[in-house]
Amino acid sequence: MDVLERIKQQVETYPVIVYMKGTPQLPQCGFSSRTAEALKSLGIEFAYVNVLADPEIFQNLPRFADWPTFPQVYVDGELIGGCDITLEMHASGDLQKIAKAAVEKASAEKAAS
């Protein structure tokens, strides 16, 4: 499977996914750490990809959504942004709203199938 197809599949499979340096438990940069903490504070499940452990994704993810930096947060298949945007959305309450809606939508779709 082509790496861009793999990224597309991941983004479409998980209601909330973050591409980050490291893991939520052991982030490898400050931006990834702050982003993961914001997502963890929502109390929802989210997926992650450690871009340092997958050089193919590390090299190609910036092309996928034309976003040059990490982390990258996707909700309901759409890029919402990196660390700064995620933290702004977290502070305003918007992140919780869209993430919760995405998780509920995925859960309903899974139940219907």
Domain with 45, as residue range(s), is: 3-99
Largest CA distance in the chain: 40
Look over the chain and give the mean of its residue pLDDT values, rounded to a whole number.
96
- Can you give the pLDDT at residue 91? 98
Q: Nearest 10 degrees: CA dihedral of 5, 59, 42, 12? A: -10
The encoded tokens of residue 92 equal: 């305003």
Whether 68 maps to a domain, the answer reads yes
How many domains does the chain contain in total? 1
- Tell me how far apart the alpha carbons of residues 78 and 81 are, in angstroms, rounded to a whole number: 9
Sites in the chain below the pLDDT cut of 70: none
The CATH number assigned to the domain holding 86 equals 3.40.30.10
Whether 41 maps to a domain, the answer reads yes
Whether 110 maps to a domain, the answer reads no
Whether 15 maps to a domain, the answer reads yes
- Tell me how far apart the alpha carbons of residues 72 and 81 are, in angstroms, rounded to a whole number: 6
- Tell me how far apart the alpha carbons of residues 14 and 12 are, in angstroms, rounded to a whole number: 6
Whether 43 maps to a domain, the answer reads yes
Whether 104 maps to a domain, the answer reads no
Whether 109 maps to a domain, the answer reads no
- Can you give the pLDDT at residue 103? 95
